[in-house]
A and B are shown apart, each in its own frame.
Chain A
Amino acid sequence: MRTIVKVKEGINWVGAVDWTVRDFHGYSTHKGTTYNSFLILDDKVTLFDTVKKPFKNDMLHNIYKVIEPSKIDYLVVNHVEPDHSGSLPEIMEVVKPEKLFCSSRGKKALLDHYHREDWPYEVVGTGQEIGLGKRTVQFIETRMIHWPDSMFSYVKEDALLIASDGFGQHWATSERFNDEVDSSELMAHAAKYFANILLPYSGLIQKLLAAVQQMNLKIDMICPDHGLIWRKDPLQIVAAYDRWSKQETKKKALVVYDTMWHSTETMAKAVADGLIEGGVSTKMLDLSVDHRSDVMTELLDAKAIVLGSSTLNNNMLPRMADMLCYMKGLRPINKVGAAFGSYGWSGEAVKHLTNALEEMKVKVVSPGVNLQFVPNHEGLRKCVDLGREVAKAVNESA
Chain B
Amino acid sequence: MKSYTCEVCGYVYDPAAGDPDNGVDPGTAFENLPDDWVCPVCGADKDSFSAE
Contact = CB atoms under 8 A, between A and B. Distances in A.
Q: When A and B form their complex, which 5 residue pairs have the shortest distance between CB atoms, in order from nearest?
A: A143-B43, A144-B42, A148-B42, A144-B8, A143-B42
A148 B41 CA distance: 7
A278 to B, nearest CB: 34
A29 B9 CA distance: 25
Among A105, A141, A148, A204: residue with most chain B CB under 10 A: A148
B43 A201 contact: no
B41 to A, nearest CB: 6
B50 to A, nearest CB: 13
Contacts of B41: 148
Interface size class of B (residues with CB under 8 A): under 10
Given A143-B42, A144-B8, A203-B8, 15 more contacts: A105-B43, A141-B43, A143-B43, A143-B44, A144-B9, A144-B42, A144-B43, A144-B44, A148-B9, A148-B41, A148-B42, A148-B43, A201-B8, A204-B8, A204-B44
18 contacts: A105-B43, A141-B43, A143-B42, A143-B43, A143-B44, A144-B8, A144-B9, A144-B42, A144-B43, A144-B44, A148-B9, A148-B41, A148-B42, A148-B43, A201-B8, A203-B8, A204-B8, A204-B44
Among B9, B41, B42, B44: residue with most chain A CB under 10 A: B42
Interface in A200-236: 201, 203-204
Interface string A118-152: 00000000000000000000000101100010000
Contacts of A204: 8, 44
Interface size class of A (residues with CB under 8 A): under 10
A201 B44 CA distance: 11
Interface string B1-39: 000000011000000000000000000000000000000
Nearest to A204: B8
Contacts of B43: 105, 141, 143-144, 148
A204 B38 CA distance: 14
Interface of B: 8-9, 41-44
B42 to A, nearest CB: 5
Contacts of A105: 43
Interface in A75-129: 105
B8 to A, nearest CB: 5
B13 to A, nearest CB: 16
Contacts of B8: 144, 201, 203-204
A143 B6 CA distance: 13
Contacts of A201: 8
A99 to B, nearest CB: 23
A203 B47 CA distance: 12
Contacts of B9: 144, 148
A148 B43 CA distance: 7
B12 to A, nearest CB: 16
A148 B42 CA distance: 5
A144 B42 CA distance: 6
Nearest to A147: B42
A11 B9 CA distance: 35
Contacts of A144: 8-9, 42-44
A223 B28 CA distance: 44
A152 to B, nearest CB: 15
A203 B50 CA distance: 15
A203 B41 CA distance: 17
Contacts of A203: 8
A10 B50 CA distance: 48
A160 B31 CA distance: 42
Nearest to A148: B42
A105 B15 CA distance: 23
Nearest to B8: A144
Contacts of A148: 9, 41-43
A141 B44 CA distance: 12
B49 to A, nearest CB: 13
A203 B48 CA distance: 10
Contacts of B44: 143-144, 204
A201 B8 CA distance: 7
